[in-house]
Amino acid sequence: MKKRLSLIVFIGVISISLLILCLSVQLIDLHNLPQSLPMTYEDVENINLKKPFGKGVTANLDEKTVNVSGEKFSIKTLVFKLFGFIPIKTIDANIVETKEVYLGGIPVGLSIDVDGLIVLGNNNISTESGYVNPFENSKLKVGDIILTINNTKVTNLEELQKILENSGYNGEELTLEVLRKGEILMLGLTPALDEESGKYKIGLWVRNDAAGVGTLTFVDCDTLKFGALGHPITDYETGAIVPAKSGKIFPCSVVGLSKGEKGTPGEIKGIFMQGRNQKGTIEKNCQFGVFGTLTDKSKLIDPNKTADVASRLTVKPGKAKIVSNVSGVSEEYEIEIIKANYQPSQSDKSFVFRVVDKRLLNLTGGVIQGMSGSPIMQNGKLIGAVTHVFVSDPTKGYGVYIDWMIAAA
């Protein structure tokens, strides 16, 4: 009898321990939520239906009226309870209307005018005393973005040459304001007198623009503000985010695909003409993508193809779909969300997914470069966009929550 009782107690302790362990993981996710969140009434319903924080957690919307200096205000809070009666978390609920957007999924060409000059490389200058390399004698690095020279802003090669002609005749050291990985640096650079031309030169290879192919994610139905790519356009040498002064978005023609394999990412091969068929302007290049405003929505969106935006709180592991035009027509492809991170603050790589649709696997091998920005749908709502591929396994990729892209736009 005692042995049987001991066994029952042991099983009970183990069961309770496992329950506490499971709950602790879910409650940590809940605890990490910010103190205030924008959400719709439907989002609140979905939290209770989909149970993203565990089957034992429910959410109730409470409303109370407060009096401030004679004026009455309504305050809404979302109260999370364990087993329906133990309060464990309360956040301010900023109730908003359900947002509807045009769905993307179309490849686009993106061209950015850089707010400065990107340093690509350097070369020697032939002087009377031999070869001189101003770059090697300075603290500049490839990938640095030159913003000003001697307090004068430079955005193109012509402005750079004028500064050299006005400032370099005496071989004086130039003061460069440089952006490097988000940090502003003041560096010196001394031009050298070129023996052949008789002009002072700095021996730098620079450019003032960046371009690439990505996928349009969404367009606001009211303002035509758009979001694309899901991650920033970066310098291919350093990986640093390219600061955008302005830019343009164009239709893109897909001319081929290279299939992704383990260790070798695939790629959408697309072309676009920067001088023709501009469809809008780019205003921002940031952590969550490229953003701007369309001036012409033809060829980029289907006015009959819209979707409601879902809060990240409603995203959970399970079935979802990628919207992509890789086959030449816009199609939905089945994926499985493996892990959804309940991010308390803005961050990329919000969730991990796996491509399970055989059509897409046969066509691309999974996620390939150029698919970044492809909309991801769950339960008929837009929840995010494709951002990165797992190089070690092209069937897997990362997505970013649409919350972060909408906020950036």
Average the pLDDT over each of 46-55, 185-194, 363-372, 378-387 and give the range with the smallest value: 46-55
Give residue-wise pLDDT tens across range 134-180.
Answer: 999 899 998 899 999 989 898 887 888 787 777 545 678 899 999 98
Q: Mean of the per-residue pLDDT values for the chain?
A: 84
| Residue percentage of the chain with pLDDT more than 90 | 44
pLDDT value at position 354? 98
Whether 15 is catalytic is: no
Segment 69-88 mean pLDDT = 74
Residue 35 pLDDT grade (very low, low, confident, very high; cuts 50, 70, 90)? confident
pLDDT value at position 173? 87
pLDDT value at position 20? 46
Q: Quick check: pTM over 0.85?
A: no
Exactly one of 138, 372, 374, 403 is catalytic; name it.
372
C-alpha–C-alpha distance, residues 217 and 324, integer Å: 10
Exactly one of 111, 138, 144, 231 is catalytic; name it.
231
Q: How far is CA 150 from CA 153, 176, 267, 277, in A?
A: 8, 6, 42, 38
Residue 74 pLDDT grade (very low, low, confident, very high; cuts 50, 70, 90)? low
Whether 372 is catalytic is: yes
Residue 238 pLDDT grade (very low, low, confident, very high; cuts 50, 70, 90)? low
Residues 6 or more apart whose CB falls under 8 angstroms from that of 123 comprise 133, 203, 205
Residue 237 pLDDT grade (very low, low, confident, very high; cuts 50, 70, 90)? low
Hey, is 403 helix, strand or coil? Answer: helix
User: 200-239 as b/e, with b when 16 or more CB fall inside 10 Å?
Assistant: bbbbbebebebebbbbbbbbbeeebbbbbbbbbbebeebe
Residue 51 pLDDT grade (very low, low, confident, very high; cuts 50, 70, 90)? low
Give residue-wise pLDDT tens across range 329-381.
Answer: 889 999 999 999 877 778 888 999 999 999 999 999 999 999 999 999 999 99
Segment 92-110 mean pLDDT = 87
pLDDT value at position 351? 96
C-alpha–C-alpha distance, residues 207 and 296, integer Å: 29
pLDDT value at position 25? 42
Whether 246 is catalytic is: no
Q: Are strands 225-228 and 204-220 parallel, antiparallel or unpaired?
A: antiparallel
Beta strands of 165-288 (E only): which ranges?
174-180, 183-189, 192-193, 200-201, 204-220, 225-228, 244-251, 253-258, 267-271, 280-286
Q: Greater confidence, 94 or 250?
A: 250
Residue 19 pLDDT grade (very low, low, confident, very high; cuts 50, 70, 90)? very low
Segment 61-67 mean pLDDT = 72
Domains and CATH numbers, the chain: 2-95 (no CATH), 103-111+209-408 (2.40.10.120), 124-202 (2.30.42.10)
Q: How far is CA 50 from CA 80, 259, 320, in A?
A: 14, 35, 14
Segment 37-56 mean pLDDT = 71
For residue 46 the two structure tokens come to 């979905």
Tell me which residue of 310, 329, 291, 326 sits closest to 377, measured CA to CA: 310
